[in-house]
Amino acid sequence: MMAQSPLSPISPSSILARFQSNGQHTCFHGRHIAPQIYAGLDGTNWRLMDYVARGGYQALRRVLGQLSGSDGGAAMPPEQVIAIVKESSLRGRGGAGFPAGLKWSFMPRQYDGPKYLVCNSDEGEPGTCKDRDILMFNPHIVIEGMIIAAYAMGASVGYNYIHGEIFAAYDRFEEALQQARSAGLLGDRILGSNFCFQLHAAHGFGAYVCGEETALLESLEGKKGQPRYKPPFPASFGLYGKPTTINNTETFAAVPWIIRHGGKAYLECGKPNNGGTKIFSVSGDVTLPGNYEVPMGTPFAKLLELAGGVRPGQSLKAVIPGGSSSPVLPASVIMDCTLDYDSIAKAGSMLGSGAVIVLDDSRCMVKSLQRLCHFYSHESCGQCTPCREGTGWMSKIVDRIENGQGLPEDLALLDSVAENIQGRTICALGDAAVMPVRAMLKHFRHEFDHHVAHKTCVVPAYV
């Protein structure tokens, strides 16, 4: 018999309804600051002709030496494209924030067999919903970014691995690919140049771990989506064992702007070491949840203001700043942060995928952690013992604390299980499961102690 989940169900439609509660879509609210990726979108203007009218594919033309008039010139050498991306300080938007230009330079130039380019649109990190809006409403910006990246790294074939449960985004991307192929922007001799690049969409399978880059590659190859040992890294042994570069959807979407305006201009949009804009998916206890594109280095307080502040009558308690795996930060800490990789890291958390989950003072942190632990236990692929067993144990311990059956020694036990997972697994899912536990115990231990001692919550009600 299936064990019953201890968590009350949250229906996807009720979450979506909250996102749309102000009558606008998640990214058409007009409350972005200096947007580059979501600029000018209204939900209808996603086709090739609309994108071209916004200046789309100009960057590709410039790279291939196909621009006419005074802006024209010879094709850019691939090294120059990589140098511009390095100068821009674009950091990977999938979670780790690894410098994109540096990653591109790892592709072995001398290798004359097939090289692959992969876009990670798996977007499974709880709280993150930015990439699906890019794919739905500006798909050509990703296609253009991928073609330029493929040119820079000499990749001949690319795949966009799209989350298995968002069929509309997959269909939309397929349609955009067809438009690009018909216009000579993909395929053989792109825009009359000698450069050839084939790009395909691929369906994911709805597992969180398939967003981990090597699990994604396994899944793309038609195998069970389980992470590989690293090294070797994908740049030397990737898809079908060939050199491969994987970047997030938003990372590729940033590339056309960088080429058109220059690496320096992109860097100056943000702050040193954190170039450009970033899309934040703001969810939880805010009045206007949604996707917000703002320059890197924007104060957190400004983002909260754009999202309408916390719900009426409540005050801010804490924020999970970069998706469910990033350590929670109390209100007093996050309110002093700016939104960039370095500021959030200094405060003890991670910018991650940019999913900002806001918790107001009505939230019980034990209940919140219970949901997170349940997720990671459910999503562990089971390959390594510390993650497979440890995530289940953490989930059970937090369950019993939440249900009023916690023992005084449970908090030390929880900490010890976390200690024995961290750094001892094949992929980062193990660490991702541990970080929320340790941060909750660090900042909100009194709530756990209260649950154990009094079998109740310190907050009056959980809504």
Ligand X SMILES: Cc1cc2nc3c(=O)[nH]c(=O)nc-3n(C[C@H](O)[C@H](O)[C@H](O)COP(=O)(O)O)c2cc1C
Which chain residues interact with ligand X by CB under 6 A? 92-96, 98, 120, 122-125, 208-209, 211-213, 246-248, 251, 427-429, 432
Instruction: Tell me phi and psi for residue 429, to 5 degrees.
Output: -65, -35
Nearest CB to ligand X, comparing residues 94 and 406? 94
Nearest CB to ligand SF4, comparing residues 287 and 385? 385
Residue 96 near which of ligand X, ligand SF4, none (CB within 5-8 Å, type-dependent): ligand X
Residue 383 near which of ligand SF4, ligand X, none (CB within 5-8 Å, type-dependent): ligand SF4
Which residues bind to ligand SF4, rule: CB under 6 A? 209, 227, 380-384, 387-388, 425-427, 429-430
Angle 208-234-380 from CA coordinates, rounded to 5°: 25
Distance between CA atoms of 373 and 411, rounded to whole angstroms? 14
3-state helix, strand, coil in the chain (%, to 5): 45, 15, 40
Query: Which residue matches tokens 């219970």?
Result: 370
Closest approach of ligand SF4 to the CB of residue 241, in Å: 19
Residue 425 near which of ligand SF4, ligand X, none (CB within 5-8 Å, type-dependent): ligand SF4
End-to-end Cα separation, the chain, in angstroms? 30
Q: Are 432 and 380 in contact (CB under 8 A)?
A: no
Closest residue to ligand SF4 using C-beta atoms = 387
Closest approach of ligand X to the CB of residue 323, in Å: 9
Looking at residue 78, its amino acid is P
Instruction: Tell me phi and psi for residue 322, to 5 degrees.
Output: -140, 45
Residue 430 near which of ligand X, ligand SF4, none (CB within 5-8 Å, type-dependent): ligand SF4
Residue 246 near which of ligand X, ligand SF4, none (CB within 5-8 Å, type-dependent): ligand X
Closest approach of ligand SF4 to the CB of residue 116, in Å: 22
Nearest CB to ligand X, comparing residues 64 and 215? 215
In sequence order, the 6+-apart residues with CB closer than 8 A to the CB of 232 are none
Nearest CB to ligand X, comparing residues 123 and 402? 123
Q: How far is CA 205 from the centre of its chain?
A: 17
Nearest CB to ligand X, comparing residues 98 and 106? 98
Distance between CA atoms of 360 and 19, rounded to whole angstroms? 17
Query: Which residue matches tokens 């209204």?
Result: 42
Residue 388 near which of ligand SF4, ligand X, none (CB within 5-8 Å, type-dependent): ligand SF4
Closest approach of ligand X to the CB of residue 299, in Å: 24
Nearest CB to ligand SF4, comparing residues 143 and 384? 384
Residue 285 near which of ligand SF4, ligand X, none (CB within 5-8 Å, type-dependent): none
Nearest CB to ligand SF4, comparing residues 362 and 422? 422
Closest approach of ligand X to the CB of residue 119, in Å: 8
Residue 327 near which of ligand SF4, ligand X, none (CB within 5-8 Å, type-dependent): none
Closest approach of ligand X to the CB of residue 22, in Å: 27
* CA count, 13 A, side-chain hemisphere, 102: 8
Closest approach of ligand X to the CB of residue 18, in Å: 22
Closest approach of ligand SF4 to the CB of residue 430, in Å: 4
With H, G, I as helix, E, B as strand and everything else as coil, classify residue 144.
Answer: helix
SS3 labels along 383-444 = CCHHHHHHHHHHHHHHHHHHCCCCCCCHHHHHHHHHHHHCCCCCCCHHHHHHHHHHHHHHHH
Q: Which of 392, 428, 320, 380 is nearest to 96 (CA)?
A: 428
Nearest CB to ligand X, comparing residues 123 and 293? 123
Distance between CA atoms of 68 and 189, rounded to whole angstroms? 18
